[in-house]
Chains A and B, each alone.
Chain A
Amino acid sequence: MEATTNTSDPLISVRDLSVSFRLDRRTTFEAVTSVSFDVPRNATVALVGESGSGKSVTALALLGLLPRENSIVDAKSRIMFGGRNLAQLSFREMQDVRGAEISMIFQEPMTSLNPVFTVGFQIEEALRLHMGITGAKARRRAIEVLAEVGIPEPDRRIDMYPSQMSGGQQQRVMIAMAIACEPKLLIADEPTTALDVTIQKQILDLISALQKRRQMSVLFITHDLAVVGEIADQVIVMRNGEIREQGPAKQIFEQPQDTYTRALLQCRPQLDRRPQRLPVIEDFMGSGDGPGDIPDRVRGVSAGDAIVLRVRDLGKSFYSREGLFGRREFKAVRNVSFDLPKGKTLGLVGESGSGKTTVGLTLMRLHEATTGEALFEGRDILGMSAKEFLQYKRRIQIIFQNPYASLNPRFIVGQILTEPMEIHGIGSSAQERTELAFELLAKVGLPEVSFYKYPHEFSGGQRQRIAIARCLTLKPDILICDESVSALDVSVQAQVLNLLGDLQAEFGLSYIFISHDLAVVKYISDQIMVMNDGAIVEIGNSDDVYRNPREEYTQRLLASIPKGWQGSRATA
């Protein structure tokens, strides 16, 4: 191909890309509408958008990886790369482009690697296909690439299967495979979303370093503006299949023109501020000038606060069978003690496997605790019989992470809301319970007709509101929020966080807020408890923990939080 040395000549140039999907015989759905953008040489471009924005579809369309059965790329679309229109290439011709000139990594490294072949086989396959390197030479090259992406002991790990590696290492292998044939463009589709925050930081650093060293371009797709703040040269913001705004990172972060971009930037809780309520997208989209300045809220606990739940020495072990008679103990939670003050929020942060979710489930007695006690109104709720516990059960409620899984798909919302009242004898008649359900729907901001609908007719945020309403039917004292906003888009996340704040103020609820997202926890919590390997690392008032982390682990965790746009880089 004829490569020009002109740096203003973009590496890939997309014009009028439209993609639609056939839903059934009659209906089609346009996922991407007339999208145009360039990826310059030797640069990182971030494609940012919430779910349904069409960002991933755009990326897949560049490589011709859309499902052939039901996707249609509009004939007018042009994807110019090296003088050729990729949209017009045959499937066979595209094979030579894929992996060699443009390669791609995905969100889930675990499922994206073939489980039954060694990582060496999978990297060597790419080398053989595009560079004709085989045998020992291919193996040597594969080891080199693995070393380059930071896999320790690459000559040993090359013979491992993906399942024998950690999530972070798997993603490194994916990257190694993608860069093995020295592509000019690397498309990274949410490559860090499934990873813990410390691993995310490492992978981001790796991609950024590789981009510079290899002088390649990266198209980085993400839902989280903060993630790309540190690495992107250019930012493209998409919504509902259209580009809302694009430009240099400095311009997007410092002077966003589009209302949606501005909303996205402000909906996400900031580490250094804690407004009374978070701005939501409607604040911007309606009038266009945003919510104005919202006063900050002060959070924290003092010694005089009434304690509603006292947890002492909580422990939970799981056992797996080992050998003929033996069993292996795995301590998911060890020696956890804390006090939950009334009307306050305790934030529980940690990476996956830290035991934070197990704490929540054990307090609900959804898991039986192995050791310890939890005193609620002076009674140990972990030690009492299941029958005795039933009357306390309604006082502690839980909201799960996945709003798609936590509502019974076969119940209408009305049933979901009246069932708990029925079980606990709240409300004297069905009519009264129905009335109460209507009131609660209004409280969580849903129209009354929702009563007659099934969960699948609602969006993720709306479903989380239904789940909250279900808890409220029981008038609980304590609400455990287990990653309750993690699966939601940023703009929706802000709405739900605001709702939780309002409800706390109105009903004096105490929250145990479990999340891996440090910014969100910081925003909502009075107190923060950091967990690692099943034990408490540090506990204290949230502002103190964030400002002066005492433990090394906490410091590392906080250092990994994506900082978003750094003004200092703007001068570079």
Chain B
Amino acid sequence: MSDLALKPPAASRRVIPHTVSPGLWTLAWRRLKTDSVAMVSMAIVIAFVVLMILSGLGLVARDWAREVGVNYAPPPFVGAPELPGTPGVENKVDAPAVPSAPTPGSAFESTVVDPIGDVISELRAESGRGGKGAPGATAASPGAPAAPSTEGGFVDPLADVMKEIEAQKSAAAAPSTTVDPLADVMKDIQAGKGAGPAADQRRATLPFGADKWGRDVIAKTIKGSETSIFVGLAAAIVATFIGTVLGALAGYYGRWVDDALNWFYSVFSSIPYLLLILAVAAVLQHKGTLTIVLILGLTGWTGVFRLIRAEYLKHKGREYVQAADAIGASNARRMFRHIFPNVSHVVLVQLSILVVAFIKSEVILSYLGFGVPVDVVSWGSMLNEAQNELLLGKWWQLVAAGGTMAVLVTAFSLFTDALRDALDPRLKGTAGH
């Protein structure tokens, strides 16, 4: 109720015994509290967000890139590892975050290019150039996390976005110290023979197994959650903001403002969303978490725009807005003080729908290698690795990434439905798209 900014009448000479009635949000919260499904799903969502923050602050899963187990260390309930490589084998350097096993696609048809092949060859080319410029990169200490605090003046020749230099640096760091990132799994293990931490430091099993470099899948999943949730949330906020502001302007002012913004909308919406994202991704060669947030956010606002525009159009004609006009309220006041609180629940529900949509998009983009940088782990890049691992019978990374994502997205969707019902009880049971 504080947002209503009402002067407390306590200052008044007459004090009237009163309680301010509960507003929309209080009532919605009360309804939400009685909904057990909503509360459970909300708890799960909050847990994920807390995990994301902790992981972002480096309090958990900071050492996700350390090879704590043997390669493909299975979960204990599966049994001891029986890998061709001798136990205790590990890489002498940081694991490349990019898997290099051929995808089924490239195995069967030669014209199919390994989706990450280009990325890797690019990186290889970069590392060749970058290695010279940045000797520090090659000096990364063995066993250090894959996001090393590499000093040095490595500048990606393709980079023109300064804030992404960091990402580029670390991206280049991994392959630059690897002999050949394109080597298949077995080669990788072979290459790994040699120096490094003592063999007995690497465990034969891990709670939920390890990936092909022996990194803990649980830590990786947590780190991946951080990336995916951050991208989903941040991109949804960007897209909702753009869609709401433009939608409000178009719906409220109508006439040429509406015509212009509608034109803008129809331009964006006549290009299929995925194609637009891919086109932008193709142009922006430099990958970074922020880039992917911007790509998703700048292309994904159209749905919000359409809905908010329709809402403003509807509310503009409502009598309470005409009454506000009659008492002399300005346009800005009518738009934000009067109408906005009446459509804010739509905005909130849209935001929450977009978070889910963007998490899914991010996973697909990262899987294809158009998403987050190669040194940043996300559910998408984990699924990319898991696809090849499955062929070897190593299912745990697939289950970890796919399962965690399913749990979060289910919880988020159920929460969105409950939120919609709680905010607009008339719609109960008709929850849809």
A and B touch in the complex (CB under 8 A): yes
Could you say which residues of chain B place their CB within 8 Å of the CB of A430?
7, 11
Query: A379-401 vs B: 1/0 string, CB under 8 Å?
Result: 00000000000100110011011
A167 to B159, CA, bound (A): 68
Q: Which stretch (A171-179, A188-196, A449-457) binds chain B?
A: A449-457
Say yes or no for A546: interface residue by CB 8 A criterion: no
Could you say which residues of chain A place their CB within 8 Å of the CB of B282?
none
A409 touches B342 (CB 8 A): yes
Say yes or no for B326: interface residue by CB 8 A criterion: yes
Greatest chain A CB density within 10 A among B17, B23, B320, B341 is at: B320
B7 touches A412 (CB 8 A): no
Task: List chain B positions with a Cβ less than 8 A from chain A.
Answer: 4, 6-7, 9, 11-14, 16-21, 23-24, 318-320, 322-329, 333, 338, 341-342
A405 touches B7 (CB 8 A): no
Say yes or no for A121: interface residue by CB 8 A criterion: no
A401-427 contacts to B, CB under 8 A, are 401-402, 405-412, 414-415, 419-420, 423-424
A406 to B325, CA, bound (A): 11
- Between A and B, 22 residue pairs with Cβ closer than 8 Å are A364-B326, A393-B326, A397-B326, A405-B319, A406-B322, A408-B342, A409-B24, A409-B320, A415-B4, A423-B327, A431-B11, A434-B12, A435-B14, A438-B14, A448-B16, A449-B17, A451-B9, A451-B16, A451-B18, A452-B18, A452-B19, A470-B327
A44-60 contacts to B, CB under 8 A, are none
B24 touches A406 (CB 8 A): no
Q: Of all chain B residues, which has the CB nearest A394?
A: B328
Q: Of all chain A residues, which has the CB nearest B330?
A: A423
Say yes or no for A87: interface residue by CB 8 A criterion: no
Q: A434 and B9 in contact (CB under 8 A), knowing A394-B328, A400-B323, A405-B319?
A: yes
What's the minimum C-beta distance from B170 to chain A, rounded to whole angstroms?
Answer: 48
Could you say which residues of chain B place their CB within 8 Å of the CB of A393?
326-328
A340-398 contacts to B, CB under 8 A, are 361, 364, 366, 390, 393-394, 397-398
A420 to B326, CA, bound (A): 9
B16 touches A405 (CB 8 A): no
A397 touches B327 (CB 8 A): yes
Q: Of all chain A residues, which has the CB nearest B429?
A: A69
Q: A452 and B20 in contact (CB under 8 A), knowing A410-B342, A415-B4, A424-B328?
A: yes
Could you say which residues of chain A place their CB within 8 Å of the CB of B318?
405
Could you say which residues of chain B place their CB within 8 Å of the CB of A398?
322-323, 326
A449 to B9, CA, bound (A): 11
What's the minimum C-beta distance from A483 to chain B, rounded to whole angstroms?
Answer: 11
What's the minimum C-beta distance from A439 to chain B, rounded to whole angstroms?
Answer: 11
A411 to B341, CA, bound (A): 9
What's the minimum C-beta distance from A465 to chain B, rounded to whole angstroms?
Answer: 14
B21 touches A454 (CB 8 A): yes
A435 to B13, CA, bound (A): 9
A420 touches B20 (CB 8 A): no
A415 CB contact (under 8 Å) in B6, B13, B342: B6
Q: A454 and B23 in contact (CB under 8 A), knowing A435-B12, A438-B14?
A: yes
Could you say which residues of chain B place their CB within 8 Å of the CB of A238?
none
- Smallest CB-CB A-B distances: 3 pairs: A420-B327, A410-B341, A406-B319
A164 to B23, CA, bound (A): 43
A295 to B326, CA, bound (A): 37
Could you say which residues of chain B place their CB within 8 Å of the CB of A406?
319-320, 322-323
Q: Of all chain B residues, which has the CB nearest A480?
A: B326
What's the minimum C-beta distance from A343 to chain B, rounded to whole angstroms?
Answer: 21
A394 touches B12 (CB 8 A): no
Q: A390 and B328 in contact (CB under 8 A), knowing A410-B23, A431-B11, A434-B12?
A: yes
B4 CB contact (under 8 Å) in A412, A438, A451: A412
Could you say which residues of chain B place their CB within 8 Å of the CB of A400?
319, 322-323
Could you say which residues of chain A place their CB within 8 Å of the CB of B23?
410, 412, 454
A470 touches B323 (CB 8 A): yes
What's the minimum C-beta distance from B329 to chain A, rounded to whole angstroms?
Answer: 6
A414 to B12, CA, bound (A): 13
Say yes or no for A474: interface residue by CB 8 A criterion: yes
B325 touches A366 (CB 8 A): yes
A408 CB contact (under 8 Å) in B13, B14, B320: B320
A412 touches B20 (CB 8 A): yes
B329 touches A419 (CB 8 A): yes
What's the minimum C-beta distance from B345 to chain A, rounded to whole angstroms?
Answer: 10
- Additional A-B contact list (8), CB under 8 Å, known A397-B326, A409-B320, A419-B329: A390-B328, A394-B328, A400-B323, A412-B6, A424-B328, A434-B7, A434-B12, A451-B9
A449 CB contact (under 8 Å) in B12, B16, B326: B16
Greatest chain B CB density within 10 A among A411, A431, A451, A470 is at: A411
Could you say which residues of chain A place their CB within 8 Å of the CB of B14?
435, 438
Q: A414 and B327 in contact (CB under 8 A), knowing A408-B342, A452-B21?
A: no
What's the minimum C-beta distance from B424 to chain A, rounded to whole angstroms?
Answer: 12
Greatest chain A CB density within 10 A among B16, B318, B323 is at: B323
A406 to B323, CA, bound (A): 7
Could you say which residues of chain A place their CB within 8 Å of the CB of B17?
449
Could you say which residues of chain B place their CB within 8 Å of the CB of A431?
7, 9, 11-12
